[in-house]
């Protein structure tokens, strides 16, 4: 089950390493298409992970898990053989649907398989796999693609998924089913609203912010999110009950989780291209280059709870968001002359913030819901993580493209580095300089956004605590 988690989470991280290879490939994707290639998987994963858990309850966790692994393999195979961007996007969507069926049901199978006294340790081990999945995706993806083709990343995922399906079929126990009604309309509206929002963000630099497609994207997203809220309030068994967000602690923790992954995956998106274009790293070196970010996660995760108990929840969150936002702002100052050691130091600062934030926010989400809604809390955490990841990639991709095209010499017209280098091979220095400027602008925007949103999370948490415990609020 842990290997299944590493596979589906690792794919979120690994695809970012493929961006430079995809940009230079025979598919000739535009800048917005590159963002969609990354985000299509993530957005389907985010929006369908709660329905994936509900389907497991209704039809059997093992069966839905096996179906998810087969869909994941089929989507990866379609992506690996895609003759054009449209087919690649279809493969990415299918892979994301499979991942959404896999992730929640791995935990459900585990909890059914272990005795009650081991469930706490089992949940902690399962949760740690999301961090390990990010490392495995970067290092493993870099090793796979060091041969020079982005297609190998997807091709390698096919036997892995099918092998895990065979092991799951042989080893995993069958758990009882529950008569839990599904909410297909709610799921459809949530996916549609999220995709419409990303259309508005991603297409802005190329189509123009006042263009029909961008305005329609934002307007459609607002209408669909409103319709989703109305439907969920009226449905007897909603996909995600909007009334849950009346709980201030849950609301702020979900915003915090979204914000952390917004910053982290925005960094993942530009990190690979920056190290390859700006620093001249190979794809394997690039995969290894992100490891300083993960060192605090691996070594310090167990101490986050001790920090929160010592200095208080609000101070821990303030320190976490300051570290993430400050680390991103520090990374935004990097250029082609910046030593990698300096770059790595800012990655560690960012990683410290993530290490403090994730278990603290997870604890708040879990503690805000009754034990009978543990599954909802798990699904909510997965949804906010992946949704924040998709938004981070979309926003930094948009800022990067706008600044990159503005910084290019007047006689070079392109939206990606690969396009610029193809049209003006003798202007490599100017193209790379423009890209580094775009990366810096993107990271500054993301860093400031993390600081502002993190400040709102801490303020809301503090106000909520004072409202419930006015005498002890100052002591956390």
Q: Is residue 146 exposed (0-12), middle (13-18) or buried (19+ Cβ within 10 Å)?
A: middle
Question: Does 54 lie in the same domain as 194?
Answer: no
Question: Does 9 lie in the same domain as 132?
Answer: yes
What's the mean pLDDT in 228-239? 86
pLDDT for the residue numbered 475: 47
pLDDT for the residue numbered 165: 96
Q: Quote the CA–CA distance of 430 and 228 in Å, as a whole number.
A: 47
What's the mean pLDDT in 57-68? 89
Distances (CA, A) of 80 to 95, 101, 102, 106, 140: 11, 21, 20, 26, 17
State both tokens at 414.
């392109």
Nearest to 397 by CA among 11, 30, 26, 13: 30
* pTM, to two decimals: 0.86
> In whole angstroms, how large is the CA radius of gyration of the chain?
22
Answer whether residue 71 is part of any domain: yes
pLDDT for the residue numbered 139: 87
State both tokens at 172.
């995993």
Q: What percentage of the chain carries pLDDT values higher than 90?
A: 43
CA dihedral (166, 170, 173, 179) positive or negative: positive
Answer whether residue 259 is part of any domain: yes
Q: How confident is the model over 413-438, as pLDDT tens digits?
A: 888 888 888 888 888 999 999 999 99
Q: Number of structural domains, the chain?
A: 3
Confidence of residue 180 (pLDDT cuts 50, 70, 90): low
Which of 22-26, 240-244, 365-369, 471-475 is predicted with the least confidence, judged by mean pLDDT? 471-475
Nearest to 412 by CA among 397, 435, 431: 431
With residue 417 as reference, give the H or E element that holds it.
Answer: helix 417-423
> Is the separation of the CB atoms in 354 and 297 below 8 Å?
yes
Q: Quote the CA–CA distance of 387 and 394 in Å, as a whole number.
A: 11
Confidence of residue 65 (pLDDT cuts 50, 70, 90): very high
Question: Does 255 lie in the same domain as 138?
Answer: no
Distances (CA, A) of 397 to 30, 38, 198, 361, 423: 11, 10, 11, 27, 21
Q: Quote the CA–CA distance of 274 and 286 in Å, as a whole number.
A: 9
Higher-confidence position of 25 and 363: 25
Mean pLDDT for the chain?
Answer: 87
Answer whether residue 475 is part of any domain: no
What's the mean pLDDT in 199-225? 88
CATH number at residue 287: 1.20.1250.20
What's the mean pLDDT in 451-472? 79
pLDDT for the residue numbered 82: 96
Question: Does 122 lie in the same domain as 2?
Answer: yes
> Is the separation of the CB atoms in 267 and 446 below 8 Å?
yes
What's the mean pLDDT in 441-469? 88
pLDDT for the residue numbered 371: 64
Q: Cβ contacts of residue 406 below 8 Å, gap of 6+?
A: none
* Domain assignment of residue 396, given as a range: 246-469
Confidence of residue 451 (pLDDT cuts 50, 70, 90): very high
Q: Cβ contacts of residue 358 below 8 Å, gap of 6+?
A: 131, 257, 260, 297, 301, 304
Confidence of residue 468 (pLDDT cuts 50, 70, 90): low
State both tokens at 44.
């389907």
Strand ranges for 84-168 from DSSP E: none
- Residue 177's Cβ-side half-sphere holds a number of Cα atoms within 13 Å equal to 11
Place of tokens 């998987």: 41
State both tokens at 295.
């060192």
pLDDT for the residue numbered 474: 46
Domain boundary residue, one of 173, 203, 220: 173
pLDDT for the residue numbered 236: 79
Higher-confidence position of 172 and 72: 72
Question: Does 197 lie in the same domain as 285?
Answer: no
Question: Does 214 lie in the same domain as 144?
Answer: no
Domain boundary residue, one of 146, 173, 200: 173
Q: What percentage of the chain carries pLDDT values higher than 70?
A: 95
Domain boundary residue, one of 202, 220, 238: 238
Question: Does 290 lie in the same domain as 224?
Answer: no
């Amino acid at each position: 089950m842990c290997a299944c988690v590493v596979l589906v989470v690792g794919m979120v991280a690994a695809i970012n390493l493929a961006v430079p290879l995809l940009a230079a490939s025979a598919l000739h994707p535009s800048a917005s298409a590159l963002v969609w290639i990354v985000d299509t998987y993530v957005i389907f994963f985010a929006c369908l992970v709660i329905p994936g858990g509900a389907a497991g309850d209704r039809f059997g966790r093992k069966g839905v898990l096996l179906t998810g692994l087969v869909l994941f393999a089929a989507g990866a195979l379609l992506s690996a053989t895609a003759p054009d961007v449209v087919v690649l996007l279809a493969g990415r969507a299918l892979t994301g649907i499979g991942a959404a069926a896999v992730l929640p049901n791995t935990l459900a199978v585990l909890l059914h398989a272990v005795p009650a006294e081991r469930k706490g340790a089992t949940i902690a081990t399962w949760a740690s796999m999301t961090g390990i999945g990010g490392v495995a995706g970067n290092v493993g993806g870099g090793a796979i693609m060091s041969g020079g083709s982005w297609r190998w990343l997807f091709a390698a995922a096919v036997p892995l998924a099918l092998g895990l399906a065979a092991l799951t079929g042989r080893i995993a126990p069958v758990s009882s089913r529950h008569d839990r009604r599904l909410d297909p309309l709610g799921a459809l509206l949530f996916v549609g609203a999220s995709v419409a929002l990303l259309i508005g963000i991603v297409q802005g630099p190329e189509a123009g912010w006042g263009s029909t497609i961008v305005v329609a994207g934002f307007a459609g997203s607002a209408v669909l999110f409103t319709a989703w809220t109305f439907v969920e309030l009226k449905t007897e068994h909603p996909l995600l009950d909007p009334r849950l967000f009346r709980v201030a602690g849950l609301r702020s923790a979900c915003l915090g989780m979204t914000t952390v992954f917004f910053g982290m995956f925005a960094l993942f998106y530009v990190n690979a291209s920056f190290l390859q274009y700006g620093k001249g790293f190979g794809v394997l070196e690039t995969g290894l280059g992100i490891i300083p970010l993960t060192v605090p996660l691996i070594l310090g995760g167990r101490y986050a709870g001790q920090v929160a108990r010592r200095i208080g929840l609000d101070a821990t969150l303030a320190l976490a968001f300051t570290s993430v936002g400050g680390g991103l702002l520090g990374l935004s100052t990097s250029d082609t002359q910046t030593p990698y050691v300096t770059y790595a130091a800012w990655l560690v600062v960012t990683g410290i913030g993530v290490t403090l934030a994730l278990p603290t926010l997870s604890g708040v989400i879990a503690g805000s819901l009754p034990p009978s809604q543990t599954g909802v809390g798990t699904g909510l955490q997965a949804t906010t993580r992946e949704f924040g990841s998709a938004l981070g990639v979309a926003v930094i991709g948009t800022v990067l493209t706008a600044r990159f095209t503005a910084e290019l010499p007047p006689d070079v017209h392109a939206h990606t580095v690969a396009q610029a280098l193809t049209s003006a091979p003798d202007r490599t220095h100017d193209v790379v300089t423009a890209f580094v400027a775009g990366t810096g602008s993107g990271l500054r925007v993301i860093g400031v956004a993390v600081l502002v949103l993190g400040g709102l999370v801490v303020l809301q948490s503090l106000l909520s605590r004072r409202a419930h415990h006015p005498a002890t609020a100052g002591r956390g």
